Amino acid sequence: MTTGLRPDQLDPAALAALGRLDVVARWIVDGFLTGLHRSARKGFSVEFAEHRPYQPGDDLRYVDWRIAARSDRWVVKEYEEETNLRAAIVVDASRSMDWSGAPGRLTKLAWANRVAAAAALLLLRQRDAVGLVRFASAVEAVVPPSARLAHWPRLLAPLEDRGAGSGTAVPEALAHAGRMIRRPGLVLLCTDLLTEVEPVARAVRSLRAQGHAVLVLQVLDPVETDLTIAGEALLEDPETGEQVPARPADLRDAYLDTVAHATAEWQRTFGAAGTTFTQATTAQPFGLALRALLRARERLP
């Protein structure tokens, strides 16, 4: 970790090899928050609390210059974080997620688990209540929301399960998340979206009708976005086991057209539902996903 880059900007596989899930997630969040503090941002969502007298070393950006001009008193604005958000993190643990296109690269599930762990810690540090739903062909694990920082190990436990099941019950998992957080909140879905569009669209529209903000993070392996495989290959559906021999070079143009069409359809679907859609690959740093979460969090009333 002497590259000069923050942990949230490092190669995800290299970072994941350095420690356990909880350790890596802490590094990611600490690096991400360091980046926020160095930027013009002041946090996720803050509201004015009170003034206090200026002290040497205080950031001049927070000096209330209007009061200084009127009364020749230097005071600093203090802020407090909003604490009323309830969030549900929904993680797809199907077999299609438990796949990597290259040795040494994280599987989609491993990448999503680390993003989910970091997102949970980030929200808890904001004093938001966070719950978790893990699913494959059915909902496999549920952790009800809590805003206590001591709740984080409970959220990590399902993410440390290395098992992956067949099928992808996205609508059922989203419905469970909606029931779990009840009043309007935030739902983060981490999945590869290798499933039918309409059932997912209905589930998302239902969440939006309940007042929830929804962030869909589509997690893909780089091979799935560009099909850069040389020579002969045996293509296998990880959930059905069906195998097809092929030469990827012969299929690449048609494949890329199909991927572009599918991505455009998801974008239209989620856009029409007022849902945030972000596509990421397992070769991208974890901080990219956290920035998408930050933007979705800030849009909440």
Q: Report if residue 196 sits inside a domain.
A: yes
pLDDT beyond 90 at 45: no
The two structure tokens encoding residue 20: 């356990």
**pLDDT for residue 162:** 82
99 and 216 in one domain? yes
Strand order in the sheet with 276-281: 139-146, 129-135, 86-92, 186-191, 213-220, 276-281
Based on the domain organization, do 58 and 23 belong to the same domain? no
Give yes or no: residues 202 and 55 share one domain. Answer: no
- Chain position carrying tokens 């996205």: 170
**127 in the same domain as 13:** yes
On whether both 204 and 285 belong to a single domain, the answer is yes
State the Cα–Cα distance between residues 253 and 248, nearest whole angstrom: 9
CA dist list (Å): 84 to 123, 185, 193, 301: 11, 9, 30, 11
Which CATH number characterizes residue 294's domain?
A: 3.40.50.410
Question: Are residue 102 and residue 133 in the same domain, yes or no?
Answer: yes
% of the chain residues with pLDDT over 90: 63
CB atoms within 10 A of CB 259: 15
Phi, psi dihedrals of residue 50, rounded to the nearest 5°: -170, 175
Under a CB-based contact definition with an 8 Å cutoff, are residues 117 and 154 in contact? no
Segments forming the whole domain that contains residue 116 = 7-35+83-298
Task: Determine the Cα–Cα distance for residues 280 and 25; give it in Å rounded to an integer.
Answer: 18
pLDDT surpasses 60 at 30: yes
Residue with tokens 């350095």: 18
- Whether the pLDDT of residue 239 is over 50: the answer is yes
pLDDT band at 231, cuts 50/70/90?
low
Mean pLDDT, range 74-94, rounded to an integer = 78
Question: What's the pTM?
Answer: 0.81
Residue 131 has a pLDDT of: 97
Q: Please give the helix or strand (H or E) that residue 52 lies within, else none.
A: strand 46-53
More confident position, 50 or 275: 275
Q: What pLDDT is recorded for position 59?
A: 67
Same domain, 17 and 105: yes
Pair 51, 163 in one domain: no
- Residue 1 maps to a domain: no
The answer to whether position 25 is within a domain reads yes
Average pLDDT over the chain reads 86
| pLDDT tens string 248-259 | 666 778 888 999
Look at residue 301 in the predicted model and tell me its pLDDT: 58
